[in-house]
């Protein structure tokens, strides 16, 4: 009874905390850090759907973030498209990319699918670098306007923070509903046993394609927001390294859960800025963590696999059910 | 009435003819068993009937419609459900959730409807849960409803898989070695379930090694050996059939 109340109240409490963030945080830099947390959460929620629910691995998700970012950047600067339309177009463009990447997934499994998505990611980075007249190449793409809806421009860090977290909130609610009902069950079934899912009447092809499309669309939206918040993008942001980071957050967060990957995305993003968050921690420590980021994530994954194979979500479930780890 | 009419199904793997022009019929409301020594081609034939494998030639007529060449999803929608020799449950999901997946093909709430919590999506979900709970109760395993499939004993796993297949509301239920790995009480439980399923109006075709079970539950038996059908008839007849005894005891090998 108490557990259930806590479970129902927790999302509201978290939402309220996020909502009042800008009133509590006076430091503009910190507010930006928390905005970045939201951007990463958006990508990781998509990956949680694809990997954590449907069981399909992607090592190329940064490519979709990039597709979204460049789409938004190009439309708003060169074609004077309304921001909100460019934002939507970014999601659509990434979704289209996700649809294309879903096609090999119908034939490939496990490691082979991972390799195919990795190749897709590398290819995307190559295109971002080489298609100079469109993307600006290695020098990047500058002068991307702030997000705006009608006459209102989101310039202030607090406004950007609310915009990003507003999108995250809407996406989380929709994703939570979707995963709880029929589509979510089909995805988990696919994850559990593809043969079993087929035999139960699940349209395995349809579920795979939809999962890829949804998760890449979310990455694309995150990319569009990133481009508009920062104002500058370059291929170095959308590398396979970033894809691995996103997947690491999802794995550490745990399968069959949205809250776990959300927590992992938040923790691992904040870890890089530990000096600004916790008084007394030196800048050196944060720089050290940043330069050894890949190793930190690798270590975290090893710890998760040894201590709680189902990630943060699994650990939480065990604590809730009163089973000792 | 004929529920399933298998016509000259042949399936080759390279030079090996796994199923060699096998024909038989399954009548509505009966339990039919497919038996034979290891490697007789039973599971291959089974896969050809359910769309998990495609035969090289032959026909499969189900309720008067040709279904040969269809995908598993289509055969399920047509009313043909199956289980696997090695149970294919969704381990992270509870027994109830596993059975709820069986309702999938009959429901239509898409990703958008579910994300927006449309009333149709929510009520469909409740229906699936109620129906799954009812099936678990009928089979007598409702006490396991909230247990994750990974933690279920072997016998219960089999029954949950049968329950999941039943949730697709099949006209014909195909069971691939349902008694494999079960102990004696679990096998008794299975026999009861099979009778209950048949009495509820579902026709059953099973591949099985456990002769005791086969002789007890089947109305008719088809015997296969080395890809070909060697006998067909009621249990009493099959027990006395010389070619069946030869296939099982290897009399032919002694003669040569």
The answer to whether the CB atoms of A200 and B165 lie below 8 A apart is yes
CA distance B182 to B163: 17
Question: B173 to chain A nearest CA, in Å?
Answer: 11
CA distance B189 to B242: 32
Question: B245 to chain A nearest CA, in Å?
Answer: 34
CA distance B117 to A184: 13
Per-residue tens of pLDDT for chain B, all 256 residues: 889 999 999 999 988 889 999 999 999 999 999 998 888 888 899 999 999 999 999 999 999 899 988 999 999 999 999 999 889 999 999 999 999 999 988 888 888 888 888 888 888 889 999 999 999 998 889 999 999 999 999 889 999 999 999 999 999 999 999 988 888 888 888 899 899 999 988 999 999 888 888 999 999 999 998 888 998 999 988 888 888 888 877 655 444 4
Give me the residue label for tokens 């006490």: B143
Q: Name which of A260, A177, A129, A233 is nearest B109 in CA terms.
A: A177
Question: What does pLDDT average to over chain A?
Answer: 86
Q: What are phi and psi of B204, to 5 degrees?
A: -125, 135
CA distance A122 to B134: 51
B88 touches chain A (CB under 8 A): yes
The tens digit of pLDDT for each residue in A276-293 reads 777 777 788 888 888 887
Mean pLDDT by 10 residues, chain A (325 residues): 66 74 75 91 95 90 94 90 91 94 81 86 89 81 86 85 92 92 93 92 91 95 94 89 89 88 90 78 81 81 78 78 55
Question: A288 to chain B nearest CA, in Å?
Answer: 38
Chain A positions touching B100 (Cβ under 8 A) are 185
């Amino acid at each position: 009874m108490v557990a259930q109340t806590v479970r129902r109240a927790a999302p509201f409490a978290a939402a309220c905390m996020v909502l009042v963030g800008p009133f509590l945080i006076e430091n503009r830099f910190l507010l930006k850090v928390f905005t970045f947390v939201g951007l990463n959460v958006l990508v990781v929620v998509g990956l949680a759907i694809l990997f954590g629910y449907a069981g399909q691995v992607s090592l190329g998700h940064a490519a979709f973030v990039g597709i979204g970012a460049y789409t938004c950047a190009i439309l708003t600067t060169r074609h004077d498209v309304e921001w909100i339309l460019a934002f939507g177009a970014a999601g659509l463009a990434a979704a289209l990319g996700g649809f294309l990447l879903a096609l090999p997934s119908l034939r490939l499994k496990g490691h082979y699918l991972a390799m195919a998505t990795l190749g897709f990611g590398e290819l995307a980075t190559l295109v971002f670098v080489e298609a100079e007249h469109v993307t600006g190449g290695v020098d990047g793409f500058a002068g991307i306007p702030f997000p705006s809806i009608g006459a209102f421009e989101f310039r202030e860090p607090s406004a950007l923070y609310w915009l990003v977290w507003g999108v995250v909130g809407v996406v989380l609610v929709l994703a939570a509903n979707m995963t709880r009902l029929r589509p979510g069950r089909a995805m988990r079934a696919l994850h559990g046993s593809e043969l079993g899912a087929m035999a139960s009447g699940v349209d395995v092809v349809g579920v795979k394609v939809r999962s890829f499309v949804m998760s890449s669309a979310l990455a694309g939206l995150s990319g569009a927001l990133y481009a508009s918040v920062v104002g500058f993008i370059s291929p170095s942001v959308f590398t396979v390294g970033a894809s691995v980071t996103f997947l690491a957050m999802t794995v550490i967060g745990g399968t069959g859960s949205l809250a776990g990957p959300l927590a992992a995305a938040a923790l691992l993003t904040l870890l890089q800025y530990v000096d600004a968050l916790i008084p007394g921690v030196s800048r050196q420590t944060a720089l050290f963590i940043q330069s050894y980021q890949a190793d930190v994530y690798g270590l975290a994954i090893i710890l998760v696999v040894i201590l709680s194979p189902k990630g943060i979500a699994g650990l939480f479930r065990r604590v809730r059910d009163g089973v000792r780890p | 009435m004929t529920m399933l009419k298998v016509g000259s199904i042949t399936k080759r793997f390279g030079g090996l003819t796994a199923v060699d022009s096998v024909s038989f019929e399954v009548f509505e409301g009966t339990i039919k068993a497919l038996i034979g020594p290891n490697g007789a081609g039973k599971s291959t034939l089974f896969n050809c009937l359910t769309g998990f494998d495609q035969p090289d030639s032959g026909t499969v007529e189900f309720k008067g419609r040709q279904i040969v060449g269809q995908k598993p999803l289509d055969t399920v929608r047509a009313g043909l459900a199956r289980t696997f020799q090695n149970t294919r449950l969704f381990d992270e999901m509870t027994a109830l959730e596993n059975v709820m997946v069986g309702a999938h093909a009959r429901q239509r709430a898409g990703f958008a409807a579910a994300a927006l919590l449309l009333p149709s999506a929510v009520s469909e979900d409740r229906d699936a849960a109620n129906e799954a709970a009812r099936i678990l109760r009928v089979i007598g395993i409702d006490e396991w409803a909230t247990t994750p499939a990974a933690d279920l004993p072997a016998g219960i796993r089999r029954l949950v898989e049968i329950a999941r297949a039943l949730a697709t509301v099949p006209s014909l239920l195909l069971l691939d070695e349902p008694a494999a790995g079960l102990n004696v009480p679990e096998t008794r439980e299975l026999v009861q379930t099979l009778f209950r399923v048949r009495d509820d109006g579902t026709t059953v075709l099973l591949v099985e090694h456990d002769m005791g079970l086969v002789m007890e539950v089947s109305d008719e038996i088809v015997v296969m050996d080395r890809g070909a059908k060697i006998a067909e008839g009621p249990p009493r007849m099959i027990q006395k059939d010389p070619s069946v005894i030869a296939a099982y005891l290897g009399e032919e090998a002694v003669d040569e």
